[in-house]
Amino acid sequence: MSATTAPGAGAAGQYDDVKTDPVSSWADERLGIYKGSKNLIRKVFPDHWSFLLGEIALFSFILILLSGVFLTLWFNPSMGEVEYHGSYLPLDGVSMSQAYASTLNISFDVRAGLLMRQVHHWAALIFIMAIMVHMLRIFFTGAFRKPREINWLIGFTLMVLGLLEGFAGYSLPDDLLSGTGLRIASGVILSIPIVGTYVSYFLFGGNFPGHDFIPRLFTIHVLLIPALIVGLVTAHLILVFVQKHTQWAGPGKTNDNVVGLPLLPVYTAKAGGFMFVIFGVVFLLAGLVQINPIWAYGPYTPDQISAGSQPDWYIGFLEGSLRMMPNWEWNIWGHTLSFNVLIPSLIVPGILFTALAVWPFLEQWITGDKREHHILDRPRNRPTRTAFGVGGITFYGVLWLAGGNDLIATHFHLSVEALTWTFRVLIFLGPVIAFWCTKRIALGLQRRDKDKVLHGRETGIIKVSLEGEFTEVHEPLSAGERYRLTAHEVQKPLELGPATDENGVERPGNRALKLRAKASEAMFSDHVETTVEEYKEIEAGHGHH
Amino acid sequence: MTDRDMETDHLPENTGGAGHGAVTTVAEDPFQDPGLPAHRPRVTDLDPRAAKRAERQVALLFMIAVVGVIGSMVCYTFVPNTKVHRFTGLGTVNMNNLALGLCLGFAFLALGCGAIHWARTLMTDVDLVQERHPMKSDPESTAFAVSEFKQGVADSGFTKYPLIRRSLLTAMMVLPLPAVWLLRDLGPMPKDALRHTLWAPGMKLVNPNTGQPLRVSDVTVGTLALANPANLNDDPDERIDNLAKAAVLVVRLPQEALKGSEAQKKKQWDWSVDGVMAFSKICTHVGCPVALYEQQTHHMLCPCHQSTFDLSDDGKVIFGPAARSLPQLPITVDADGNLVAVSDFREPVGPSFWERG
Ligand code: HEM
Ligand code: FES
């Protein structure tokens, strides 16, 4: 069944009757395409719904590129003031930037312009959502383990670039909402110690908002970041090809093979089809559901604001972080340190993102595991990692909710003050509770798996014995299912030998090792193990009855 | 079965590099791998009629895509862009946009569903197995690459001529500096621009909408008025930048409403005209314009992060992330009874910055 064992050199004349078409031959003689593609054509890809998340990101990005190019044909990234006289009558005669005026033009006077703006914006939201969920999938299944740490870092960078790109794009139309976002960004930059004022002056070309920022942002948005994203996505995909996709445990699947369907035709058809499904969904959204109606916000002016306005969802966590922070500010030696801005907008996200980026290396240091891993973990079988992940999501979630505290307050008739205090407590308590609950749940699920393996699956059929005793009939699992449920290592905590050797000399790196042992203990002390011996015992027991 | 090729040289204790005593024990898969399950044929594998039906379904989906694509071009041409319609649930909808979205959306969906249906019903679903190989290079390649590299380095004399080596490294180190240096002209030096606004002695407060000078009688207790400096439009190029610092709000407070120390109350009253007083509109948190005025309490709220300032207590922060009071602009009346500034703000307005002090 092994599909592609690529042929080496054969006997002369053996391949004489292989027909090639002239175009491919022409290309082959110049590029060596047969050599290059022989192992690719039938490359095997494992299939699972969770492997589609990255594809959603990829396909929505393609749509972003296409719709973005369309928008550049009319968008005018200039902060020069003009008086508007287009088809949107409520703003007739209003003075505004050319960026805003041209976005109105795209929305009302260019046919399909509104559609493409909405496609672009919906695709952007889906893109970032997909990247994040994809990243969580990688995290919870341990797909970041060796040899895929580099791809984890590439993916992480892509996520950060996606956030920046989204914020940049969202700021381009220069409407009241996006200008307010930039105003906040400029305030955040000003809070950076020592260089903040200079950075802000250099970025904005002087005072906020100045005349330079939108043209600069435009170049960053349509050239710099997209080029980086395209480059990194390419590297990301090449690595997926070279390292081959991970797969779930199951009968016939080992750490040394890949089981799935071939690139040509099945995977190509499915992935290609899926791409068009994503396109279809985004176009339907763009046709049916209005997004970012910039005409309703009006042009940006620094002395105006609309209450209850919200940024795009992926900026929400920063917004919430800023909102819940107590107003700490220090004045030392004639200098101002705005912890009220610095901590929530730069330090907290910095820590969150750094932790995310280094997780694979941290985990590897704790486990000391330097083997390659191609079989995915079920989240329940790695309770501590899973609990960390859920704790992190909870942290992010509380920040995000706090970003909508005014909306929550008005909707549920609560005071913003009480809500803010709730969030201030929850930001510490929430992740801890989530961590603890997740770990319990994961261990519970492990126990259930063990039960299933040892006693079989509940059938729902109730048997009455002659003595009148009711028992539920348990149907033993198939060998394949039993294997699927147990085919994972149970990692034990690191055990330390004596701290000194026979000569009483302390072992090198003792401190780090002790720390590692502690971390390992925390990570692996709880687990549920299913052994063949237990199974055999129970089997033997059944035999007696 | 327990030794499922768990190559001992890959076990952590050997390569963990943690030194003596570091042993991470790893249990093995307790049950044997029964191997790949046998392929179960689908209806379309067994019944040629089912396969034929699937073929027609796929073709139908592809043809729907063709109709949708052509439909989109027809709609582009014939549905006017200016036509709007109210739908319950969707709000006011631009008909051209709706038609294009539906045509293209369904075209793409049909195309995608067709391809997937084709793959699921008619293409092979027999799992293939391919081997994985460790990413690590085999020893032979490693040895070859290492020796090639050594040869290359030796040929260059990089290790032999320290002067070249060190000067090259130095050159490499200074090389990136221009990448920062040459960006100097991105913007002017901030100097003390953040400390100044357009407000100056005698500068009239004007209504932003009408451009008319503001008078004491225009501001009653409980109303919130906005004001710009009269010279805001003098330099149209700088108008928005200047506005971003100079925007003020004007309220009127009865003297007995003032709170705080006597000195503070006196200052606040002295800087007002009969209780008509001007505060910076720019939030001291990160610079949004404050906007919501609560008449009874004289609280001013910033909608961005809900910092709340008590105007009757010299603009102090009573809630939220802002750390500093809203600066008050000292005002008086000129000979014609118009409100004018006594001076610029006495402290920088807006967000904090390092040099602010
Ligand atoms: C990951 C990639 C990208 C994301 C997340 C993204 C996101 C956004 C967002 C949210 C907007 C605001 C749209 C609105 O509601 O009006 C925007 C505007 C814009 N984008 Fe992008 N974008 C991306 C890539 C691109 C690319 C590659 C191009 C061009 C080649 C582009 C061109 C534009 C233009 C011209 C605008 C302003 C036009 C307008 O707002 O109508 N974008 N982008
Ligand atoms: S800008 Fe006013 S509270 Fe943040």
Per-residue pLDDT, B1: 34
CA distance B88 to chain A (A): 12
Closest residue CA from atom 6 of ligand 1: A166
Greater confidence (A526 vs A162) lies with A162
Residue B3 has pLDDT above 60, yes or no: no
CA distance A464 to chain B (A): 32
Q: Which ligand is nearest to the CA of B350?
A: 2
CA B205 to chain centre: 35
Q: How confident is the model at residue A317 (pLDDT cuts 50, 70, 90)?
A: very high
User: What is the spatial distance between Cα B328 and Cα B325, in angstroms, rounded to a whole number?
Assistant: 9
Best of A62, A65, A71, A236 to mutate for ligand 1, by most ligand atoms within 8 A of CB? Answer: A71
Could you tell me if the CB of A210 is within 6 A of ligand 1? no
- pLDDT mean over A321-339: 94
- pLDDT mean over A14-28: 92
Q: Which ligand is nearest to the CA of B287?
A: 2
C-alpha distances in Å from residue B17, one per residue of A280, A369, A490: 52, 10, 21
Residue A3 has pLDDT above 50, yes or no: no
pTM for this entry: 0.91
Over residues A162-177, the pLDDT tens digits come to 999 999 999 999 999 9
CB-defined site of ligand 2, < 6 Å = B 283, 285-288, 302, 304-305, 307, 320-322
Per-residue pLDDT, A458: 83
Best of B249, B288, B300, B318 to mutate for ligand 2, by most ligand atoms within 8 A of CB? Answer: B288
Per-residue pLDDT, A513: 84
- Residue B276 contacts residue B219 (beta carbons within 8 Å): yes
Per-residue pLDDT, B29: 60
Whole-number Å distance, alpha carbon B289 to ligand 2 midpoint, is 8
H helices of A382-531, in order, are: 383-402, 405-412, 416-455, 479-486, 510-524
Q: How confident is the model at residue A298 (pLDDT cuts 50, 70, 90)?
A: very high
User: What is the spatial distance between Cα B51 and Cα B42, in angstroms, rounded to a whole number?
Assistant: 10
User: What is the spatial distance between Cα A284 and Cα B99, in angstroms, rounded to a whole number?
Assistant: 10
Per-residue pLDDT, A1: 41
Percent of chain B's residues with pLDDT above 70: 92
- Give strand pairing partners of A335: A332
Least confident of A201-215, A355-369, A490-504, B203-217: A490-504
Per-residue pLDDT, A2: 43
Contact A196 B354 (CB under 8 A): yes
Q: CATH classification of B195-341 is 2.102.10.10, yes or no?
A: yes
Closest residue CA from atom 4 of ligand 2: B305
Q: Which ligand is nearest to the CA of B324?
A: 2
User: What is the spatial distance between Cα A63 and Cα A73, in angstroms, rounded to a whole number?
Assistant: 16
Question: Where do you find CATH 1.20.810.10 in chain A?
Answer: 47-182+209-299
Dihedral in degrees, nearest 10, Cα atoms A248, A250, A253, A255: 60
Per-residue pLDDT, B5: 39
What six digits make up the tokens of A261? Answer: 């369907």
Per-residue pLDDT, A544: 45
Q: Give the residue among A322, A160, A327 at the shortest CA–CA distance from A228.
A: A160
Q: How confident is the model at residue A437 (pLDDT cuts 50, 70, 90)?
A: very high
Q: Give the residue among A423, A424, A355, A419 at the shortest CA–CA distance from A385.
A: A355
Amino acid making up residue A161? L
Over residues B9-53, the pLDDT tens digits come to 333 333 333 333 333 444 456 688 899 999 999 999 999 999 999
Please, what is the Cα angle at A488 between A483 and A492, to 5 degrees?
A: 140
Dihedral in degrees, nearest 10, Cα atoms A14, A15, A17, A23: -170
Contact A273 B119 (CB under 8 A): yes
Residue A185 has pLDDT above 70, yes or no: yes
User: What is the spatial distance between Cα A297 and Cα A294, in angstroms, rounded to a whole number?
Assistant: 5
Helices (H) and strands (E) in chain B, counts: 9, 14
φ, ψ of residue B280 in degrees (nearest 5)? -60, 140
Could you tell me if the CB of A267 is within 6 A of ligand 1? no
Q: Which residue of B has its CA nearest to A205?
A: B187
- Residue A251 contacts residue B35 (beta carbons within 8 Å): yes
Over residues B147-177, the pLDDT tens digits come to 999 999 999 999 999 999 999 999 999 999 9
Contact B112 A529 (CB under 8 A): no
Per-residue pLDDT, A191: 96
Helix axis angle, A383-402 to A416-455, nearest 10°: 160
Closest residue CA from atom 12 of ligand 1: A170
Question: What is the number of the ligand 2 atom nearest to the C-alpha of B286?
Answer: 1
Q: CATH classification of A47-182+209-299 is 1.20.810.10, yes or no?
A: yes
CA B343 to chain centre: 37
Per-residue pLDDT, A524: 84
The pLDDT mean for chain A works out to 92
Most B CBs within 10 A among A145, A148, A197, hence the mutation to make, goes to A197
Contact A198 B190 (CB under 8 A): yes
Cα first-last separation, chain A: 43
Domain boundaries, chain B: 43-121, 195-341
Please name the residues in contact with A205: beta carbons below 8 A apart, sequence gap of 6 or more. A211, A212, A213, A216, B186, B187, B188
Contact B131 A257 (CB under 8 A): yes
Contact A187 B19 (CB under 8 A): no
- How would you classify residue B260: left for phi > 0, otherwise alpha for psi between -120 and 50, otherwise beta? left
Contact A372 B288 (CB under 8 A): no
- Residue B310 contacts residue B250 (beta carbons within 8 Å): no
What is the maximum alpha-carbon separation in chain B?
102
Please name the residues in contact with B42: beta carbons below 8 A apart, sequence gap of 6 or more. B121, B125
Over residues A509-520, the pLDDT tens digits come to 778 888 888 888
Percent of chain B's residues with pLDDT above 90: 86
Closest partner residue to A180 (CB to CB) among B189, B288, B351 is B288
Question: What is the number of the ligand 2 atom nearest to the C-alpha of A184?
Answer: 1
The pLDDT mean for chain B works out to 91
Please name the residues in contact with A189: beta carbons below 8 A apart, sequence gap of 6 or more. A196, A199, A200, A203
Per-residue pLDDT, A225: 98
- pLDDT mean over B196-211: 96
Contact B81 A508 (CB under 8 A): no
Residue A287 sits at the chain B interface (C-beta within 8 Å): yes
Over residues B77-94, the pLDDT tens digits come to 999 988 888 888 888 899
DSSP A462: E
Q: How confident is the model at residue A10 (pLDDT cuts 50, 70, 90)?
A: low
CA distance B163 to chain A (A): 36
Contact A2 B131 (CB under 8 A): yes
What residues of A are in contact with residue B228 (Cβ under 8 Å)? Answer: 303
Question: What is the number of the ligand 2 atom nearest to the C-alpha of B287?
Answer: 1
